[in-house]
Structure 1
Amino acid sequence: MIKSILCSICVLLLVGCYTTNKVESVKLEHQDGENPYQADWSSVKKHQTPDWFLNAKFGIYFHWGPYTVPAHKTEWYSIWMYQEGHPIRKHHEQTYGPLDEFGYKDFIPMFTADKFDPQEWAALFKQAGAQFAGPVTEHADGFAMWDSELTKWNAADMGPKRDIVGEMAKAIREQDMKFIATFHHQWKYAWYPTWDENTDASNPEYADLYGPKVPKGTFDFKNMTHADPLPDQKFNQEWLAKILEVVDKYSPDLVYFDNKMNIIEEQTRLDFLSYYYNHAAKREQDVVVTYKFEDLEQGSAVLDLERSRMSEKKSFPWLTDDSIDWNSWTHIANPNYKTANRLIDFLVDVVSKNGGVLLNITPTAQGEIPQAVRDRLLAMGDWLKTNGESIYDTRPWDIYGEGPAEVIEGHLSEHKNKDNTEKDIRFTTNGDALYATVLDWPTEQIHIRAFNTDKLTIKAISLLGSSEVIQWQQLADGLFIQAPKVKVGQHAFVFKVTTH
């Protein structure tokens, strides 16, 4: 026990040393005035969203870690297993035993990833049509998925004993995709009941995993994006140091943040932005940062939604992350996967409104991607092979589309939005090409009111993936397209309208 405690203390001291030096170096860089970005909002807002992101539209990531081992209900297993009265706690105690005997840490040796093949995963992502991809680098659980010098609780030293982030970065780039890293570890603050002496979360030997001692009630279950008291300077520095370590080791093309970053002090958030943007500038690398809600100031990074989308076209680029499973972000025993048709319609709708999609998939703890997930990804890839010109490199048209479907906005609102029909049409454009995507096979004449003779002059119309000659007529009250005779594909159907 003494040896374990001393080891834990040494790890914490190393973290403190690295963190302090790293934060000081960030501040010194900004003081010398030689870097293009300083640690203030006006400076970081000068950073421009790169063309690669505006063109890419579709990416894939995955929630995968020790929380995947129980495969029960949700990726939030790690918090609910400690919550008194919660059904997951009851399940945990019945399945694994009391929390003072089997805590979250004890799932780590069971997270073997023995079938993990980064090259095969990356090839699948490429086949699916993704342009950027990467792992959740650290979830709320405190377990780092990279080879970290800051914490012993990492995938290279425990569990898989492999550098998951590093191996995926290499494999993804070999497939000519951009590499992304996502961070959720601000949630670790008060995630575990470190105040509760009846669980292993209070044991100082495991403080580097479970986080600092906090009073009961610090995690506000009614308003989860807040905390009282707020994290101290040590937690802020550790939060920053982990991100900078990943930036320095792997130079991700996109850094994604989950929400609740507002509990991190403002200057620490600015230190990250300026460091990352300067790091990229030195490498002549075009990078992206995403954020949720108001965790960063508008214009300093790209706004990201979660399980939701915009109801109208926006003048600014945005991203939405959604999971392939309706109920969970990680693999669970009884998944409820979205259909490929739903995923494709979602992508088309989002892109028409100046957005992009980051789709989460759900590998098993052993490192296998379930066949049902593969089938959906390959269906998306097949659709994009035929219709990708209406997605990649496009920009929104004057309006996003037409049709009766109404999108309900709001955090975690996607389940409220119904499937689309043939009456729902979405528009994108690229040069002289205008794309009208009908979100189900047209069984009757298509009428696009916005494509009237006052608005544009049409030269030709074709159906992507088909050699059939399309019959059409443009009038003052819109464009009329006769329903094609032969169905091509199973999902959204794209009419390419050539204008001059």
Structure 2
Amino acid sequence: MNLEPLDPTTLLAPVDVSDNRPALALVDAVIEAGPYDATWESLSRYRAPQWYRDAKFGISLHWGAFSVPAFGNEWYPRTMYRRGTPTFDHHVATYGPHDRFGYKDFLPHFRMEKYDPQAWVALFKRAGAQFVVPVAEHHDGYAMYDTARSRWKVTQVGPERDVMGDLLAAVDQAWLIAGASTHRAEHWFFMNGGAEFDSDVRDPAYADLYGPALRKEMTPTERFLEDWLLRTVEIIDSYRPQILSFDTGIEEPSFEPYIRRVAAYYYNRAVEWGRDVVINYKWDSFAPGSAMFDIERGTMAGIQSDAWRNGTSVSRTSWGWVEGQDYKDASELIQELVDVVSKNGNLLLNIGPRADGTIPEEEAALLEAVGDWLAVHGEAIYGSSPWVVFGEGPTAATAGSFTDAAAAVYTAEDIRFTRMTEVGHDYVYGIGLVRPQDGRMRIRSFGSDSRLVDRPIIDVRVLGSREQSEWTRTGEHLEVVLPASELAGPGGAVVRIELAPEAAETRIDFFHGLNL
């Protein structure tokens, strides 16, 4: 591929961020003035807002200059400098030696000339998403927003527009919730492979992009940690995201005091704005209860008392755009959503736009398919809460992170449950993960011999059908005949089961006696 290298004469001079003391003093002033201080005890008073618990489904985006080479995955800027890797060899063969064409040289070719944020958001709404969380900066150090702390940003190099700001404005105009995700924490070592041979990582002229490029055995310097904090604060103040997500890297112990300061600052700013906000974190970087836990590409084993999130992607290959993606199918994405929601979680589903600003057709089609299913069956998802058990059936998804490499092979016997209580109505939804071939959905948890149900069933309906549902109940199961409209298509059918109202004391005694 014949790409022209970066013209250094087009760049602004490096930004001087050597003295962070005035900016840090302003951060501490906000912390001191607000209800939250930078201690885990104070931060643990946080509670996930109800709107986030109800929303259930959102879209994230991995976009950036790594989508120009579109090879391997979004870690191209790291692996291209690691000798002996396929990406290193591909880079040399395609673009030439690293001292002549490095990662910086991809940035001008990330132009997003076909970018239409309003069209993107319209697609996200059709997909049924309630919130949108783009990556503000990945590990590569290239800011997808207008930062005052770096010249390596989309407003200066590449699109020459604030692509994240434009997207979040479109999100807000569409009455969706706007968020932002920062992955900068691992930048301190990310390009360190280029320091081991003759590459542009060694060139002092570009140290503000590639640096500090330390060995991973070391720890981040105080200057890097201060810069990480202030870049995060800048995102908070400039864009006011109601969801702030952190990727891996901040679990490194040296980040701990800076994490507490960022969280206190964000929560206090949210109080000033009069908005309820959410922080999502991975691994053990936050104290329990101080933010919302995020599993990457995985699930929980059962119902969680606290709300949580699964961040996954439409592809197994890469979070960002690459050629030859290994895409999940629509049924698998719907199964992931249903499984997560049944366990008191939210699903954040990622797509990877191309460098020209278009969303790949395969990814748009997957979002449309999820949206079509939610348009019919969303009653069982949005605003729901867990039932007594999350589900039934012979197949269990592997719990933990990074478990989606091989999809669980569900059967028509695998069902998940959610619950919705309205004035005078108590609904439980049996959500099939696979549509039964014989057209009959059998739910063992609602058989007359089940210990999980202590009240009469007063109505059974199949979502999406206007016909009166045909159903029978035996000791073994509740059997529901599905209409023809619910026998085909991605995802499974949903049966709404209405239970007779229960007295408050009966409910307390019943749940107390169950080992959940």
TM-score by length of 2: 0.90
Greater CA drift, 177-186 or 329-338: 329-338
Counterpart residue number, 2:134: 135
Counterpart residue number, 2:14: 11
Counterpart residue number, 2:25: 24
Counterpart residue number, 2:239: 250
1:378 aligns with 2:368: yes
Residue correspondence of structure 1 range 382-397 to structure 2 within 5 A: 382-397=372-387
Q: Distance in 2 between matches of 1:441 and 1:478?
A: 17
> What are the superposed Cα offsets for residues 250-305 of structure 1, whole Å, 9 maximum, x if unpaired?
10010011111123421111010000000001111110000001011111111101
DSSP-derived class of the 1:414 partner: coil
How many angstroms does 1:423 deviate by?
Answer: 1.1
Q: Distance in 2 between matches of 1:482 and 1:177?
A: 37
2:293 pairs, out of 303, 328, 333, with 303
Which residue type is aligned with residue 196 of structure 2? D
Residue correspondence of structure 1 range 95-174 to structure 2 within 5 A: 95-174=94-173
Counterpart residue number, 1:231: 220
1:495 aligns with 2:495: yes
Q: Distance in 1 between matches of 2:456 and 2:305?
A: 25
Q: 1:389 to 1:486 in 2, by over 3 A?
A: closer
Which residue type is aligned with residue 415 of structure 2? I
Counterpart residue number, 1:224: none
Which residue type is aligned with residue 229 of structure 2? L
Q: Distance in 2 between matches of 1:339 and 1:478?
A: 30
How many angstroms does 1:121 deviate by?
Answer: 0.5
DSSP-derived class of the 1:261 partner: coil
Counterpart residue number, 1:460: 459
> What are the superposed Cα offsets for residues 202-249 of structure 1, whole Å, 9 maximum, x if unpaired?
2221111112153xxx22xxxxxxxx3211110001101111111101
DSSP-derived class of the 2:434 partner: coil
Counterpart residue number, 1:222: none
Q: Distance in 1 between matches of 2:415 and 2:394?
A: 9
Asked if 1 retains the 8 angstrom alpha-carbon contact of 2:58 and 2:349, the reply is: yes
Which residue type is aligned with residue 165 of structure 2? G
Counterpart residue number, 1:72: 71
Asked if 2 retains the 8 angstrom alpha-carbon contact of 1:69 and 1:110, the reply is: yes
Asked if 2 retains the 8 angstrom alpha-carbon contact of 1:406 and 1:417, the reply is: no
> What are the superposed Cα offsets for residues 390-413 of structure 1, whole Å, 9 maximum, x if unpaired?
000000101001111111123211
1:449 aligns with 2:444: yes
Residue correspondence of structure 1 range 428-447 to structure 2 within 5 A: 428-431=418-421, 432-444=426-438, 445-447=440-442
Q: Distance in 2 between matches of 1:82 and 1:403?
A: 47
**Matched residues, percent identical?**
37
Q: Distance in 2 between matches of 1:342 and 1:417?
A: 7
Greater CA drift, 364-373 or 437-446: 437-446
DSSP-derived class of the 1:322 partner: strand
Asked if 1 retains the 8 angstrom alpha-carbon contact of 2:15 and 2:151, the reply is: no
1:405 aligns with 2:395: yes
Q: Distance in 1 between matches of 2:407 and 2:303?
A: 17
DSSP-derived class of the 1:162 partner: coil
> What are the superposed Cα offsets for residues 401-454 of structure 1, whole Å, 9 maximum, x if unpaired?
111111112321112332322111110011011110111222344332222445
Q: Distance in 1 between matches of 2:169 and 2:365?
A: 25
DSSP-derived class of the 2:34 partner: coil
Asked if 1 retains the 8 angstrom alpha-carbon contact of 2:384 and 2:418, the reply is: yes
DSSP-derived class of the 1:189 partner: helix
How many angstroms does 1:197 deviate by?
Answer: 5.3
Which residue type is aligned with residue 147 of structure 1? D
> What are the superposed Cα offsets for residues 144-177 of structure 1, whole Å, 9 maximum, x if unpaired?
0001111000001111111011101100111111
1:181 aligns with 2:171: no
Q: Distance in 2 between matches of 1:16 and 1:324?
A: 40
Q: Distance in 1 between matches of 2:77 and 2:380?
A: 41
Runs of at least 5 residues in structure 2 that lack an aligned partner in the other structure: 1-7, 501-516
Greater CA drift, 101-110 or 304-313: 304-313
How many angstroms does 1:485 deviate by?
Answer: 4.9
DSSP-derived class of the 1:265 partner: helix
Q: Distance in 1 between matches of 2:61 and 2:480?
A: 41
DSSP-derived class of the 1:309 partner: coil
Counterpart residue number, 2:58: 59
1:270 aligns with 2:260: yes
Asked if 2 retains the 8 angstrom alpha-carbon contact of 1:58 and 1:131, the reply is: yes
Q: 1:464 to 1:260 in 2, by over 3 A?
A: same
1:356 pairs, out of 326, 346, 351, with 346
Which residue type is aligned with residue 307 of structure 2? P
C-alpha RMSD of matched pairs (Å): 1.7
Q: Distance in 1 between matches of 2:486 and 2:374?
A: 17
Asked if 1 retains the 8 angstrom alpha-carbon contact of 2:313 and 2:350, the reply is: yes
1:288 aligns with 2:278: yes
How many angstroms does 1:311 deviate by?
Answer: 2.3
TM-score by length of 1: 0.92
Q: Distance in 1 between matches of 2:68 and 2:348?
A: 24
How many angstroms does 1:476 deviate by?
Answer: 4.1
Which residue type is aligned with residue 431 of structure 2? T
1:261 aligns with 2:250: yes
Counterpart residue number, 2:313: 323
Asked if 1 retains the 8 angstrom alpha-carbon contact of 2:445 and 2:477, the reply is: yes
Greater CA drift, 50-59 or 443-452: 443-452
1:41 aligns with 2:40: yes
What is the total number of aligned residue pairs between the two structures? 480
DSSP-derived class of the 1:270 partner: helix
Which residue type is aligned with residue 211 of structure 1? G
DSSP-derived class of the 1:231 partner: coil
Q: Distance in 2 between matches of 1:475 and 1:289?
A: 46
Q: Distance in 1 between matches of 2:87 and 2:289?
A: 40
